[in-house]
Chains A and B, each alone.
Chain A
């Protein structure tokens, strides 16, 4: 039970942190896996609001990507 609770909390943490990248879309699964930051980056720069921001939107998503690589991605 404790392990499950821990896994859930970690999963929830990943979801919230990745969503913190500024995604307008929900994240279907919150498992720790390689490529989670790349997927989040694609969604971030595909977001309409960030597209309107142009170059700044790319920088915003890039900072989120770097955060994701530093804190979240188990393969980074």
Chain B
């Protein structure tokens, strides 16, 4: 009876005053409002997602590292289809990592595969596009080309443009200084509608805008010129802390940069810059994320529950 009374009292209060679901309101006027959660603690739809892409109809495609699969969810978050399994055959995964989509095509990477898997929107495996190195960032562009950041031998990272057949269209090095150290070129990137490239470095407090030919148009710090601590492992200097985990360009041309360990709220702070690199605002994600993805309708997708949940937010500008 006591429980009933408690429920009878608490429930109307919760309905009248729901817990805030949006990210903290920022100075400068960008905030987010949750509109959908895919997966969850009590749901086996997602086990550990790593990559996400959303098509024009709002279908959500997710690479699930723990399930070794590519999953398609409807715009309502319902699981529509699943493809792939653990293995080394075509379309099978041993360590699924990155996902990108454009039109009716999806492109996925596996850390142990030299190449990029191509699927159609029904998750049918089509082929593996050869790739000259290990891919650590990937975007699919509306014109059917791919942009990818790769590292190979010699160990300098490059940003490549390839056509759908894997033919190299252009390339430029990511590093300004080749002696920066192992992994210091690790970065995420995104492109705007003009093909200009925004790069956020994983272990360097630097965000850059590059022209399509690689020229640096601007570069700036977002963390007050902080330097990531390093550690010496078997005579190799390795960075210990992350500066930026991802970058995405929204429908207004704003650049959203996800801060890493060195931001005030690790893996939750999102720095919003305009196309010229001027800070516009900062907002805070409710939970840490490893990535940012903005779809064609300007919804933001991030991680929650350490990969068990994918959350979709509406971006609100004052």
Chain B, range 55-106, C-beta contacts under 8 Å to A: 65-66, 94-95, 97
> Chain B contact residues (Cβ within 8 angstroms of A): what range?
35 or more
**Does B136 lie within 8 Å of A63, measured CB to CB?**
yes
B182 to chain A, nearest CB (A): 5
16 contacts between A and B (CB under 8 A): A2-B42, A5-B41, A9-B66, A13-B307, A17-B65, A20-B94, A55-B153, A55-B155, A58-B155, A59-B134, A62-B155, A63-B111, A63-B151, A70-B260, A75-B261, A76-B261
* Stretch of B165-173, B233-241, B247-255, B293-301 at the chain-chain interface: B233-241
**Other A-B pairs, 16, CB within 8 Å; known A2-B42, A16-B48, A56-B152:** A6-B305, A6-B308, A9-B48, A9-B308, A16-B66, A17-B95, A22-B95, A22-B111, A42-B233, A58-B236, A59-B152, A59-B153, A59-B155, A63-B111, A66-B136, A69-B202
Residues of A within 8 A of B151 (CB): 59, 62-63
CB distance from B317 to the nearest CB of A (A): 28
* B305 to A, closest residue via Cβ: A6
A6 to B245, CA, bound (A): 24
Residue of A nearest to B244 (CB): A70
Contact A70 B202 (CB under 8 A): yes
Question: Which residues of the partner chain A approach B111 to less than 8 Å between Cβ atoms?
Answer: 20-22, 63-64, 67
Q: Does B145 contact A (CB under 8 A)?
A: no
Contacting residues, chain B, for A31 (C-beta < 8 A): none
Interface of A is mostly: helix
Residues of A within 8 A of B186 (CB): 63, 66
Find chain A residues with CB under 8 A from B134 CB. 59-60, 63
What separation, in Å, do the CA atoms of A70 and B137 have in the docked complex?
12
Q: For the complex, what is the distance from the CA of A62 to the CA of B236, rounded to whole Å?
A: 10
Tell me which residues from 5 to 41 in chain B have a Cβ below 8 Å from any Cβ of chain A.
41
CB distance from B83 to the nearest CB of A (A): 19
Within 8 A of A (CB), among B103-150: 111-112, 134, 136
CB distance from A12 to the nearest CB of B (A): 7
> Taking the complex as formed, is B282 at the interface, i.e. its CB lies under 8 A from any CB of chain A?
no
Contact of A69 among B42, B50, B155, B242 (CB under 8 A): B242
Interface size on A, residues (CB 8 A): 32
CB-CB under 8 A from B136, the residues of chain A are 63, 66-67
- Whether B238 contacts A56 by the Cβ 8 Å rule is no
B231 at the A interface (CB under 8 A): yes
User: Would you call A16 and B65 a contact (CB within 8 A)?
Assistant: yes
Measured CB to CB, the nearest residue on chain B to A41 is B233
Closest chain A residue to B93 by CB distance? A20
- Give Cα distance in the complex from A6 to B231, angstroms: 32
Chain B contacts of A2 at CB under 8 A?
Answer: 41-42
Chain A contacts for B97, CB-based, 8 A = 67
Q: Smallest Cβ distance from B65 to chain A, in angstroms?
A: 6
Complex contacts, A58 vs chain B, CB 8 Å: 155, 182, 236
- 0/1 interface trace, chain A 1-25, chain B, CB 8 Å (1 if under): 0100110011011001100111000
B306, CB-defined interface residue at 8 Å: yes
- Measured between alpha carbons, how far is A56 from B182 in the docked complex, in Å? 12
Q: How far is the CA of A65 from the CA of B240 in the complex (A)?
A: 10
What's the nearest-Cβ distance from chain A to residue B287, in Å? 13
Indicate if B265 sits at the interface (CB-CB under 8 A). no
